[in-house]
Chains A and B, each alone.
Chain A
Amino acid sequence: MADAHAKRTAIDRPCVVTVEGKTDRKFFTWMAIKLGLDHYIQVWPYDGNKQLKTKLAALATTSGFAQVTSLGIVMDADDHPDRAYQRICGALHSANLSKSREEPIQVDDGPRIQVLVLPSLDKQGALETVCLESVQNDPLMPCIEKFSNCVGKEWTEQLKRKEDESELLIARLDKMRVHAFLATRYDNPEFRLGEAAEADIWPFEHEAFMGIKAFLTQLCGEIK
């Protein structure tokens, strides 16, 4: 049974950004605050990309969503950026939020839609990949790269033995690199990407975040 006393999410801002999980929510909330857009943007984690269509349909029927003017969907590319994009487009269409299954096209009386695949539409990885790029000149990064290369080789061998090509290797390695990077600074194992954002660890001004900033700014473009 869901906790009946837990606060339920109603939509009370004109722009909604849906992200994969709680870590991403913390990161995007931090981004919105830094950009001065937090009064316009509400970040909602859809909790994994399975049954995305149903979750988007649930969001679209939620209290306050009918007043939303822009909807942004963020998803990790993992090993297949094009698949991530198509998954979002298909889910938006099935949830009656887009006219097309191939690309996001606003429906009548629906919000404008923008899609962001991370790190980008032509690159494998995840939000972690973007964050790592922003700290690539950190003096400890070469050590983390050595560790990561070693682990990566072993994982690749394991996957070959299992003949499993479905494993999300690139994104998984980047998530591990982020953990390793944060472990060089904090001894709290609970301290993850989202908490690092809240603690201003990621260099907000770095050009690695340009794409995310542009996405959020455009989302609020007509409202501000």
Chain B
Amino acid sequence: MYKSFEIKNFKCFDHLKLDNLARVNLIAGKNSVGKSALLEALYLHCDGHNPEILSSLKNRRRPLSPDLKQDITVSLSRSYFLNFDTYATIELIGTEDGDGVRSVRLRLDRNPPQGLKGIPIELVAQVPGKDEQRFHAYFDSRRRVLPNPPAPLVPAEFRGAREPIDVNGDSKRFGMLVKGDKLKGGQVSEALKSVELRLERVELLPDEGTYLMHGHIRGISKPVPLPEMGDGILRVAGFVIIMGHCENGALLLDEIENGLHYSILEDVWKTVAEAARQFNVQVFATTHSYECIEAAHRAFRGEHADEFHLFRLERVKGKIRAFDYEPDVLEAAIETGLEVR
């Protein structure tokens, strides 16, 4: 788990440091203060040695043509650097539980290999106790010409704010988790009761040539495919399933409240907290919603207060700063009607 995370020269961040990271971290702030960019920086750092993530991140922001998915140009790469300054070095530094300080540096590769496609950025990974390692992603006719990077150091999943829900993918993951005895169908249905009280059980059933999660609903004789039950159900199911999938890692959720009615948010946070504990996942979520912040505060109040932390990003004198809310300060802010978004 990250204890602190520091960003230099990445996108809108000159220098940002988040201390006091908890198991569940909520990032608030106005538009264009870097909430999503912060998740992107974390995603890059979690993997630790794969520059290809840069193209997948780019594709989340704006769908790229199939060619560009492997070949982001120098011009597209510029947008990762603060003020498009490609002479700067991007630095991402994480302090992790027990593992010390790990850094990832990114710089523009000014001499990319001739005749190859790829991402003109060199990634330099520094893991405590080891020599620096350099990684590139260049391709020849869609075949990687350099060895594949090792597995991510911190298994991470990123759910973007505008990404469609991957029902088939989540169903497949659900099946794998149930088969591996990491998740019980009843556990997901318990989590989904905040959205659909009548839900008794979730199971994977064949559906139109594939396998899909279905819900057994009290009063309805046949199981109902989960997508027929609405986006809220799918979103919450996805949170639990994806945490099972990135056990001992990190879950990055952009605009967590999307598709969820305010009245269920406290229960959703409790579900997220429980799954995060069970699978030892650290959660980083962003929000624009006051209800979402207040619901999180209520969900974690009391014995779980130290498992939740709110950060608010704000542009001050041209630079993004993080404001850190201790639980009692957040309580006072909510009680006295202060703006925390």
Contact = CB atoms under 8 A, between A and B. Distances in A.
Nearest to A51: B332
Closest 8 CB pairs of A and B: A10-B339, A58-B333, A8-B339, A58-B332, A66-B316, A61-B323, A54-B332, A63-B339
A66 B294 contact: no
A46 interface: yes
B339 A57 contact: no
B74 interface: no
Interface in A30-55: 44-47, 51, 54-55
A199 interface: no
Given A61-B312, A61-B329, A66-B316, A2 B262 contact: no
Contacts of A54: 328-329, 331-332
A209 B115 CA distance: 80
Contacts of A184: none
B314 interface: yes
Contact of B290 (A4, A44, A47, A51): A4
B338 to A, nearest CB: 5
A62 B338 contact: yes
Nearest to A63: B339
A218 interface: no
Given A8-B337, A62-B338, A67 B316 contact: yes
Interface in B316-341: 316, 321, 323-326, 328-341
Contact of B341 (A45, A55, A63): A63
22 contacts: A2-B334, A4-B290, A4-B294, A8-B340, A8-B341, A9-B338, A10-B338, A54-B328, A54-B329, A55-B332, A61-B325, A61-B333, A61-B340, A62-B333, A63-B30, A63-B312, A63-B314, A63-B339, A63-B341, A66-B321, A66-B323, A67-B316
Interface of B: 30, 262, 290-291, 294, 298, 312, 314, 316, 321, 323-326, 328-341
B315 to A, nearest CB: 9
B291 A62 contact: no
A67 B318 CA distance: 11
A2 B332 CA distance: 12
A1 interface: yes
A103 B328 CA distance: 25
B339 A58 contact: no
A77 to B, nearest CB: 23
B329 A62 contact: no
A61 B324 contact: yes
A113 interface: no
A51, A61, A63 — which one has the most chain B CB atoms within 10 A of its CB? A61
Given A1-B298, A4-B290, 14 more contacts: A4-B294, A8-B290, A8-B338, A8-B339, A10-B338, A54-B329, A58-B333, A58-B336, A59-B336, A61-B312, A62-B340, A63-B340, A66-B321, A67-B316
Contacts of A66: 314, 316, 321, 323
A2 B335 contact: yes
A54 B331 CA distance: 9
Contacts of A45: 336
Contacts of A8: 290, 337-341
A59 B294 contact: no
A1 B340 CA distance: 15
Contacts of B329: 54, 57-58, 61
Contacts of B334: 2
Nearest to B316: A66
Contacts of B337: 2, 6-9
A58 B314 contact: no
B298 A59 contact: no
Contacts of B341: 8, 63
B97 to A, nearest CB: 26
Contact of A58 (B30, B290, B291, B338): B338
Nearest to A46: B336
B328, B330, B334, B337 — which one has the most chain A CB atoms within 10 A of its CB? B337
A4 to B, nearest CB: 5
Contacts of B330: 58
B320 to A, nearest CB: 11
A131 B126 CA distance: 67
Contacts of A62: 333, 338-340
Interface string A13-45: 000000000000000000000000000000011
B311 to A, nearest CB: 10
A111 to B, nearest CB: 13
A18 to B, nearest CB: 10
Contacts of A47: 335-336
